């Protein structure tokens, strides 16, 4: 198991050091600094073995978190734990920075004592941690409160405490998708997938039981086969259901139920959390198409023309559109002409950045640029990095639709109808690249 956990600043000075196992000595702290943080070359692996000691590290801005062990630990678990640790710290004091860590070091030690015991991760849900790890000290807790804390920390529903009350029962559903594309210069899709998340903010009283439904092809086909659905339902099912390649759920979701019935049922944590993640690869709506044309005119000039086409309903508007066209390192000057938005050559980033605030569906826009090059005797060819794009669209490129979210709370007197529900779809670009 994890033998120790260290946090360093960018200089390699140790900010937090907590050792859990006897086999990890003080010299481990220095070994990591010397061999990884101060190493000349780029990090070649997130796992480093130095003198039979293994170091796992992640970086958040310029802070290094390193877990150390001498045993054959579950490596995936160690990384998951390090991410979780970052989440927990972020939810306590915001950004993970040197200053914040120094200012909260007592709190961090307290957290490390609680969420890692002898190197074994323990309950790390911020919701329940915050009930008893506070910087105020736990004074005046009654016996009931204490046992409520412990039963929550160890309980089956560690993510939600009892006795939550809201005057207004409300929930917000965000379907956030990032659409990823790799396209060849000829416009052939090399790979495309959507990775989506369903993020929920719930403000519900009591211990509500929720059921979430979406246009999952498997469910809809199943219902269709059953023959109970009416004609209208059947006709939509063929078109509007989507094939989900794979999905993962928040720990509140009953996985065995999903496995057997493919229904998503759960008791939600309070406040904001991620309900599920999913991935689709079929019938993706690619909101934009990028058509590049790069011509080398002699050895000192490049002509670039890029056309972007929006490919969704004309009534919808895409926002925050940005096209990034890489330029060679020996660029000496750039002239740009674009039909819409603003374009600028950014020498420090070696790219032309073209920004458009808004663009409706089924439109087209174009940029052309002339790039002057300094003559070099560098034999190596310019690697021509792909043209990348950023945007935001008000629909889910995967085609996912939320069909229902039902709330049942048998003990309190509110019903599904009393809950105010909001749904929003946002599609963003992930890595959206076209080679040129």
Partner 1 sequence: KVLLKYFTPLPTCTVGEIFELKAELNSDKKEKKKEAVKKVIASMTVGKDVSALFPDVVNCMQTDNLELKKLVYLYLMNYAKSQPDMAIMAVNTFVKDCEDANPLIRALAVRTMGCIRVDKITEYLCEPLRKCLKDEDPYVRKTAAVCVAKLHDINAQLVEDQGFLDTLKDLISDSNPMVVANAVAALSEIAESHPNSNLLDLNPQSINKLLTALNECTEWGQIFILDCLANYTPRDDRESQSICERVTPRLSHANSAVVLSAVKVLMKFMEMLPKDLDYYSTLLKKLAPPLVTLLSAEPELQYVALRNINLIVQKRPEILKHEMKVFFVKYNDPIYVKLEKLDIMIRLASQANIAQVLAELKEYATEVDVDFVRKAVRAIGRCAIKVEQSAERCVSTLLDLIQTKVNYVVQEAIVVIKDIFRKYPNKYESVIATLCENLDSLDEPEARAAMIWIVGEYAERIDNADELLESFLEGFHDESTQVQLQLLTAIVKLFLKKPTETQELVQQVLSLATQDSDNPDLRDRGYIYWRLLSTDPVAAKEVVLAEKPLISEETDLIEPTLLEELICHIGTLASVYHKPPSAFVEGSRGVMHKRLPAQSTESPDVGTAAGGSAPEAAPSIIPSQGDLLGDLLNLDMAPPTTSGPPPPTTGMQMGGMDLLGGGLDSLVGISHSVDPYAATPGQPVNPFWVKWSLQTRRSDGVLSLQVWLPAMKAKGLEISGTFARRAGVIQMELILTNKAMSVMTDFAIQFNRNSFGLAPAGPLQVLTPLGPNQTIEVSLPLSTVGPVMKMDPLNNLQVAVKNNIDVFYFSCQYPISMLFVEDGKMERQVFLATWKDIPNDNESQFQIKDCHLNSDAASSKLQGSNIFTIAKRTVEGQDMLYMSIKLSNGIWVLAELRVQAGNPNYTISLKCRAPEVSQCVFQCYEAVLKN
Sign of CA dihedral 280, 284, 287, 288: positive
Nearer to partner 1, 46 or 341 (CB): 46
- The token duo for 218 is 């498997």
Nearest approach in angstroms of CB 280 to partner 1 is 11
State yes or no: 357 annotated in a binding site: yes
Nearest approach in angstroms of CB 273 to partner 1 is 10
- The token duo for 129 is 């941690």
Nearer to partner 1, 56 or 312 (CB): 56
- Among 320, 306, 322, residue whose Cα is nearest residue 432: 322
Nearer to partner 1, 128 or 205 (CB): 128
Q: What is the DSSP string of 369-425?
A: EEEEE------SPP--PPEEEEEEESS-TT---EEEEEEE-SSSS--GGGSEEEEEE
Nearest approach in angstroms of CB 70 to partner 1 is 6
**Contact between 303 and 295 (Cβ < 8 Å):** yes
- The token duo for 31 is 């070994």
State yes or no: 239 annotated in a binding site: no
* DSSP-derived secondary structure letter, 348: G
Nearer to partner 1, 374 or 431 (CB): 431
CA dist 88 to 15, 82, 100, Å?
A: 17, 10, 13
Nearer to partner 1, 276 or 302 (CB): 276
- The token duo for 374 is 């300094």
Nearest approach in angstroms of CB 125 to partner 1 is 8
- The token duo for 368 is 């052309």
> How far is residue 265's CA from residue 253's CA, in Å, rounded to a whole number?
6
State yes or no: 282 annotated in a binding site: no
State yes or no: 320 annotated in a binding site: no
Nearer to partner 1, 109 or 408 (CB): 109
Nearest approach in angstroms of CB 157 to partner 1 is 9
**Contact between 67 and 15 (Cβ < 8 Å):** no
**What region, left, alpha or beta, does residue 342 occupy, with left being phi > 0 and alpha being psi -120 to 50 degrees?**
beta
Strand duo 364-373 + 331-338: pairing: antiparallel
> How far is residue 353's CA from residue 375's CA, in Å, rounded to a whole number?
24
Nearer to partner 1, 251 or 415 (CB): 251
Nearest approach in angstroms of CB 156 to partner 1 is 5
State yes or no: 355 annotated in a binding site: yes
Nearest approach in angstroms of CB 277 to partner 1 is 7
Nearer to partner 1, 50 or 307 (CB): 50
Nearest approach in angstroms of CB 421 to partner 1 is 23
DSSP reduced 3-state for 174 = strand
- Among 329, 326, 436, residue whose Cα is nearest residue 375: 329
> How far is residue 344's CA from residue 337's CA, in Å, rounded to a whole number?
10
Length of the chain measured in residues: 436
Nearer to partner 1, 361 or 385 (CB): 385
Nearest approach in angstroms of CB 184 to partner 1 is 8
Q: Which residues are annotated as a binding site?
A: 342, 344, 346, 355, 357
């Amino acid at each position: 198991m994890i033998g120790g956990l260290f946090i360093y600043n960018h200089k390699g000075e140790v900010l937090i050091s907590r050792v859990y196992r006897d086999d990890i000595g003080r010299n481990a702290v220095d070994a990591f600094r010397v061999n990884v943080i101060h190493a000349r070359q780029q990090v070649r692996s997130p796992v480093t073995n130095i003198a039979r000691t293994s170091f796992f590290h992640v970086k958040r801005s310029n802070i290094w978190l390193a877990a150390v062990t001498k045993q054959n630990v579950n490596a995936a678990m160690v990384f998951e734990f390090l991410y979780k640790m970052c989440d927990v710290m972020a939810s306590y004091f915001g950004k993970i920075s040197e200053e914040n860590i120094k200012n909260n070091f007592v709190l961090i030690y307290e957290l490390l004592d609680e969420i890692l015991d002898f190197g074994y991760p323990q309950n790390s849900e911020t919701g329940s941690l915050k009930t008893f790890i506070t910087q105020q000290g736990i004074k005046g807790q009654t016996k009931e409160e204490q046992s409520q804390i412990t039963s929550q920390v160890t309980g089956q529903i560690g993510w939600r405490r009892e006795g939550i009350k809201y005057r207004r029962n409300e929930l917000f559903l965000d379907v956030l998708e990032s659409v990823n594309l790799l396209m060849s210069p000829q416009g052939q899709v090399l790979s495309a997938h959507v990775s989506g998340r369903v993020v929920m903010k719930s403000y519900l009283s009591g211990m509500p039981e929720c059921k979430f439904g979406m246009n999952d092809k498997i469910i809809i086909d199943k219902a269709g086969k059953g023959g109970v659905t009416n004609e209208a339902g059947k006709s939509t099912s063929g078109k509007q259901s989507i094939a989900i390649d794979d999905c993962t759920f928040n720990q509140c979701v009953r996985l065995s139920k999903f496995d057997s019935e493919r229904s998503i049922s759960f008791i939600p944590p309070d406040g904001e959390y991620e309900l599920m993640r999913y991935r689709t690869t079929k019938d993706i709506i690619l909101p934009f198409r990028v058509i590049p044309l790069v011509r080398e005119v002699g050895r000192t000039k490049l002509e670039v023309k890029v056309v972007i086409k929006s490919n969704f309903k004309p009534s919808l508007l895409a926002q925050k559109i940005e096209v990034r066209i890489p330029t060679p390192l020996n660029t000496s000057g750039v002239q740009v002409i674009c039909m819409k938005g603003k374009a600028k050559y950014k020498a420090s980033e070696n790219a032309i950045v073209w920004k458009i605030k808004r663009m409706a569906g089924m439109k087209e826009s174009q940029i052309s640029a002339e790039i002057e090059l300094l003559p070099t005797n560098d034999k190596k060819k310019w690697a021509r990095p792909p043209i990348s794009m950023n945007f935001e669209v008000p629909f889910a490129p995967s085609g996912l639709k939320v069909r229902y979210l039902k709330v049942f709370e048998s003990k309190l007197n509110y019903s599904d109808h009393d809950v105010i529900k909001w749904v929003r779809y946002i599609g963003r670009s992930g890595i959206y690249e076209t080679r040129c």
